[in-house]
Every structure is written in C-alpha cells, then in structure tokens.
Amino acid sequence: MDILIAQIRDIARGAIEILPQLFISLIILFVTYLCAKLVRHIVKSILKKTNLRPSLVELLVLFSSLTIWLIGIMIAAIIAFPELTPTKMLAGLGIGSVAIGFAFKDIFENFLAGIIILVRREMRIGDFVACEGYEGTVEAILVRETHIRKTDGELVILPNSMLFKNPLTIRTALDQRRTTIICGVAYSEDVDEARSVIKQAVTDCKTVISDSRPVEIFANEFADSSINFEVTWWTGSRPLNIRESRDEVVTAIKSALDKAGIEIPFPYRTLTFKDPVSINTNQKVVDQ
C-alpha cells in the first residue's frame, strides 16, 4: 500500500507540475481554432473570385484549415510534453502515414484521382460521358467519386480512380456532333440522282447544322439488294439531339425518295439450282 500511495503521489505531483503547460497548450489550441476559421474565410473569399470548381474550392479551403490545425497541434504537443521534439513527431507521422496508406490504399487512390479530375477542365458538370459501359450526364464531381445520371434516370456513383485510369469519352465536349445513317436505293436507280435527292432532303431538316458543317453523302457499298449510301451530318451533341435528328432525317429521306420515284428496295433473294427444276402449274383447290 505504501508503494501504491507513493506512486499515486508521484503521478499527482507530475500532473500538477504540467498544469501550466497544459493550460498554455489549451490556449494555443483555441488560438489555432480562431486562426483556422480566419484562414478558411480568407481562402474561400479569394478562391470564389476564380473559375475553380466549387468542389475544388472546398478542397483547398479544407487543406488550408488542416495545415493550420496540424501546426497548432504540433506546437501544443511540444509545449505540453517537452520531451516530444519535432523530429520525433515527424518520424511518428511518417510511420503512421505509411501504415494508413497501406490500409486505405483505394480511398487515397480515389482521393488523388479526384484532385486531378477537379484540376482538369475537360469534364464539366452537365457533360454527357461514357466510361467502361456507363453513360450519362455528370451531376457532381467530388473528391472521391463522380455522380452520373443515366438516360433512364438511374444514378451511378463511379470512383474517380475508374474515370482516371480508363478511357473516358466526353460526348458533349463540343456543342455539335456528327451522326451517320445508311440508306439504300435499288440497283436500277441512278446513283447521282439519288445522292442529290438525299442530300437536299437532309439539308432541309431543321435539326441538321448545314450552314457551317457540310452534309456528306457517299456511295458506300454494293449490298445484297441495294446501293448503300453513307449519310453524314452534324447536329446537337446531346443524346436527345441525336435521336430527334435521326428521326427527322429518316422521315425526310423516305418522303423525298418516294416523291422522286426512287425505290428503297426490299431484300431480294436469287436462288440458283444445280439441276433443272420442274414447275407444276396445276393447282388443286380443296373445299373445307
């Protein structure tokens, strides 16, 4: 009991001796809180005047606040525990960082990929993108993940590392996008006349951009039943623009070819027999 009481007294004496240091450390932490709040306000005010994305602004504000807190906590810890030197603290942080890095490898990978994506300007909110079979409109770009709304209304949350490491198609990088359909006419028709009729029909469509982008019609191939034309034009870049324009162009081409008397053929089949084939022309009608 004497030994236990002596140890308790030593602990109490040591606690009393470091009370002034703990009090100073608490004051430093309070000052750190005020400084971090002030720095957040200043950094946020400065960055709002730039063209940086809101998510990137919040990230930089968070980093500035964390830096102030890290410095303040280190100073408070050194004052409270004089035997704890900056070298020892940095060494401990280094070992801890390695351990945390291995434990949260995927999280840090997505975090770093998110920073790079936020810094780059190629992908914007509202863009229609495609990556690894996922297509949709970008609704949010966060530090760890990106939210994509599919055309059927479903929300897909993709990790940023996936968008960073794999090929990413941004379909709305430009306001205009080229689209193509195949149109066939019968072999008996005049190719040049058919091309002229198709081109005029496509050019007259409202959804087709023909003033700055040419409408291109190419005879593409000798198909089984028709001469196929590759019909290419420019329209809006969003998926709905493409569908609406295809609908208008197909309708216009069908109407124009019908008016010009140019045949859009059904599939023809030619059967060839090695031996002669007899044809029975007698027909027997059976009443039922």
Per-residue model confidence as pLDDT tens digits over 79-135:
777 676 666 666 655 555 555 555 456 677 777 887 788 777 778 888 999 998 899
- Give the separation between CA 113 and CA 154, rounded to whole angstroms: 24
Least confident among 59-68, 137-146, 200-209, 248-257? 59-68
Q: State the pLDDT at residue 277.
A: 74
Q: What is the DSSP string of 193-246?
A: HHHHHHHHHHHT-TTS--SSS--EEEEEEE-SSSEEEEEEEEEESSHHHHHHHH
pLDDT per residue over 138-181, tens digit each? 998 887 889 999 989 999 999 988 888 899 999 988 899 999 99
Asked if 247 and 222 touch (Cβ cutoff 8 Å), the reply is no
Reported in sequence order, the residue ranges of the chain that DSSP labels E, i.e. its strands, are 128-131, 134-141, 145-149, 155-159, 169-170, 176-185, 216-222, 227-236
Percent of the chain past pLDDT 90, that is, above it, reads 34
Least confident among 20-29, 88-97, 177-186? 88-97
* Residue 19 in tokens: 């009370």
Q: State the pLDDT at residue 185.
A: 94
Please say if the pLDDT value at position 10 is more than 60: yes
Highest average pLDDT, of 3-17, 137-151, 196-210, comes from 196-210
